[in-house]
Amino acid sequence: MTAFRFALLGPLLALLLAGNAAAAPDRITLKNGSTILGTVTDAEGGKVVVETDFAGTIKIAQDQIEDLRTETPMSLQLADGTVLESSPIRVENEQLVLDALGEEETYALSDLVRVNPEPWELGDGYHWTGLASAGLAMEQGNTDTRELDYKVESTWTGLLDRYSFSLIGEYDEANGEKNAENWIARSKYDRFLEDSPWYWGGNLSFEHDEFADTELRTYVGPYLGRKIFTEPVFTLEAEGGVSYVWENFFVAEDNDYPAATWSLNASSNYLGEGTRLYFNQTGLWDLSNTADVLINTTAGLSFPLLLNIEGAAEVIWKYDTGAVEGVEELDQTYRFRIGYRW
């Protein structure tokens, strides 16, 4: 009987011990003597990313780490592109120490660029992100109104390039009469220069605004861009290029011209994890009539609601010095929307 009990208890104890070992946290000791317990999830921009129970996700500068020990095997990507499949690792004296088949191998900690990289980060496939959101307002009484705002964004990011698409629009009615119908659709392709913040690309855009007499504005052209800031607390990308523009109007005479173009995209999570301040601007400057400039600007705040559902409040300005007669140069819109982000 005793032997039978040990036969049952032995595997059970082994499972419990294995569970405890798996649950043991990674340990990071800083040069100031502080110790942080958590799970090392990534390395980016010279910082080690750690998921903790007490403070969520934190980032630690690699040059502030005195000692680091992990409890689980992980994949490590170095600056030269080498990927190491490692047993649990440790850091001593700013050296990354790995146990390879019973022999220790060391690498400079500063050479570590990523922990457990996803396939797309190694050049295999793309990482898909996106947003689908809408805002709907209805009012009945003295005035019957219906307002629909929508926004769709989708981006496929690879190691060397990026595809993106966006569609933003508005449709309003009052007492059965349409009083707003406009949309902007954009597609872009970016090609990143290796080991550089610079990239080049091309865009194709379509705009429609019935109440600004614009049946369809189409422009296409190349540009050069730069990632100026890339930290989540503040990201900024700027682009400048040239395009050719075709404008078809409902009433006014159609037009086409070469244009200088620019784009600014900024965002910040300064207000907290999951909350995002953002600013986006695109511009067209008519090179055949330099008094005509068209600028679309959006500034907003998005915040998490539940799971991947977010709310957002934003202001949109459209400034067109070449607007046809009877149309205001500046159009301003306030929107609140709810959407799903992935």
- The third-level CATH classification (topology) of the domain covering 127-341 is Porin (2.40.160)
Convert the pLDDT of each residue in 101-120 to its tens digit: 667 788 888 888 888 888 88
Task: Report pLDDT for 97.
Answer: 83
Q: What does the pLDDT read at residue 17?
A: 45
* Range 226-236 average pLDDT: 93
Q: What is the mean pLDDT of the chain?
A: 87
**What are the extents of the domains in the chain?**
2-117, 127-341
Distance between CA atoms of residues 172 and 182, nearest Å: 10
Residue 253: the pLDDT is: 94
Q: What is the rounded average pLDDT of the residues 247-267? A: 96
| C-alpha to C-alpha distance for 135 and 151, rounded to whole angstroms | 9
- Of the candidates 102, 43, 28, 104, the one whose C-alpha atom is nearest the C-alpha of residue 78 is 43
Q: CATH: 2.60.40, 3.40.50, 2.40.128, 2.30.30. Which one for 2-117?
A: 2.30.30
Question: What integer pLDDT is reported at residue 6 of this predicted model?
Answer: 38
Distance between CA atoms of residues 127 and 160, nearest Å: 12
| CA distances for 32 relative to 67, 72, 182, angstroms | 11, 26, 57
Does residue 319 carry a pLDDT above 80? yes
* pLDDT tens by residue, 164-202: 999 999 999 888 888 889 999 999 999 999 889 999 999
Least confident window among 46-55, 204-213, 218-227, 280-289: 46-55
Q: CB of 18 within 8 A of CB of 24?
A: no
Instruction: Please state the pTM of the whole predicted model.
Output: 0.79
State the pLDDT at residue 190: 98
Which residues lie below 8 Å from residue 23, measured CB to CB, with a gap of 6+?
none
What is the secondary structure of 113-135 as a DSSP string?
Answer: EEES--GGGGTSS-EEEEEEEEE
